Amino acid sequence: MFSKFLYVIVIAFVLFLIVGLFLPRYVHVERDIEIDRPASTVFTLLNSYRTFASWSPWAERDPEAIYEFSGPESGVGARMSWSGDPRLVGTGWQEITESRPWSLIRTRLDFDQQGVAESYFQLDEIPSGVRVTWGFDTDLSGEQGFLGGFLARYFGLLFDKWIGTDYEQGLASLKAFAESLPDTDFSRLEAEVIDVEALDILYIPSGSSQEPDAIGDTLANAYREITDFMAAHDLKINGQPMAITRAWSEQGYQFDAAIPVAMRPVELSGRVRAGQSPSGPSVRVVHIGPYDRMAPSYEKLAAYMAANGLREGSVSWEHYISDPGATPEEELITHIYFLIGD
């Protein structure tokens, strides 16, 4: 009786090994969804981990999980690590390894003791917006050992359901989040996150209505007063003129008209003040064209910050790179900055 039982066990084990040999070693899972937003908008969301918690199915599953970010803000090298409940999300990290603007993002995932995998987002433009395909690939025999590899292949039969369900939930949340943002195409937006250094400036606190002509006249008068002061005290210019926004409301526009200078001790007079320009992590957008057409650039900048999970700080400013007296209106270059809040 015992020998028959042992025989059955041996046969079952052999069958287990034989069947395991023919089970797929590689797992591929893929889901897709259509999103009513430009490919550039969705790409911007996925190319940075700063908004990950806004649509991730795992962030919802374990709200107490801790996320840490390293590397660049976006693109290749951006990395996110997580640590949470072992029964829900466990620990691990993922890093962007390939980033092709508006079309493809690849990442490498490391699930600590549970193995590694590759993931990707493919974006295809369609008439209604973009189709996002989220894929997952892993080698079940990679680092599992002989017996672990066999067991992993059996578990691999369930991966499409397990991971596919998470991907479906995540894509649905991504769609809802992306479509809650302004319908803005970032493909022609020249924007970057930079660490701005403070400059010594001379400035005049100013104000006007929101009319472009009124703002221009006020700036011109303030710059003239500052340059006259500089000439009287032999101070050298050290950068392009600036307008630092202090308040923007229905009551009007309050700002500092400023010029960077190579500062030295001088006695101030009239309306001229001395200080430093804003500094710290900021988002910079390049606007090309007339000053009275900058509103769309501001709207895109705000949408870009929202898409990247960045909060607007307490101040914004404009840096007038081109000389309006020597540059055609359509070619004027202005750098617009928003300080990033905590």
Q: What is the pLDDT of residue 206?
A: 93
The DSSP letter of residue 198 is: P
Question: Above pLDDT 70, what percent of the chain?
Answer: 87
Res 11: pLDDT = 55
Q: What is the pLDDT of residue 152?
A: 56
| Interatomic CA distance for residues 117 and 214, integer angstroms | 58
The rounded distance, in Å, linking the Cα atoms of 118 and 90 is 18
Rg (alpha carbons) of the chain, rounded to whole number: 28
Those residues with Cβ within 8 angstroms of residue 52's Cβ, 6 or more apart along the chain or in another chain: 59, 67, 80
- For residue 64 the two structure tokens come to 């107490």
Q: Is the pLDDT of residue 248 over 90?
A: no
pLDDT at 308 over 80: yes
DSSP class of residue 220? H
Q: Quick one: average pLDDT of 118-132?
A: 96
Intrachain domains 23-179 and 191-340 with the same fold: no
The CA–CA distances, whole Å, from 262 to 200, 236, 256, 276, 319 equal: 7, 6, 18, 12, 17
Could you tell me the CA-to-CA distances from 211 to 126, 179, 217, 311 in Å, in that order?
Answer: 40, 32, 10, 27
**Phi and psi at residue 74, in whole multiples of 5°?**
-155, 170
Task: Tell me if the pTM is above 0.85.
Answer: no
- φ/ψ of 334, rounded to 5, equals -130, 130
Residue 147's pLDDT is what? 46
**Per-residue pLDDT tens over the stretch 250-298:** 778 899 999 999 998 899 999 999 999 999 999 999 999 999 898 889 8
Alpha-carbon gap, residue 152 to 141, rounded angstroms: 7
Could you say which of 2.60.40.730, 3.30.530.20, 3.30.70.260, 3.30.70.120 is the CATH number of the domain covering 23-179? 3.30.530.20
Determine the distance from the C-alpha atom of residue 18 to the mean position of all C-alpha atoms in its chain, rounded to a whole number.
Answer: 48
**Residue ranges covered by each domain of the chain:** 23-179, 191-340
State pLDDT tens for residues 182-223.
Answer: 888 888 788 888 999 999 999 999 988 888 888 889 999 999
Q: Is 93 helix (H, G, I), strand (E, B) or coil?
A: strand
Classified by CATH at the fold level, domain 191-340 comes out as Multidrug-efflux Transporter 1 Regulator Bmrr; Chain A (3.20.80)
Whole-angstrom Cα distance, residue 324 to residue 62? 54
Identify the band that residue 146 occupies on the pLDDT scale cut at 50, 70 and 90: very low
Asked if 297 and 185 count as a contact pair (C-beta separation under 8 A), the reply is: no
Mean pLDDT is lowest, of 59-68, 78-87, 152-161, 275-284, for 152-161
Q: What is the DSSP letter of 181?
A: S
- Using CA atoms, how far apart are residues 167 and 173, in angstroms rounded to an integer? 10
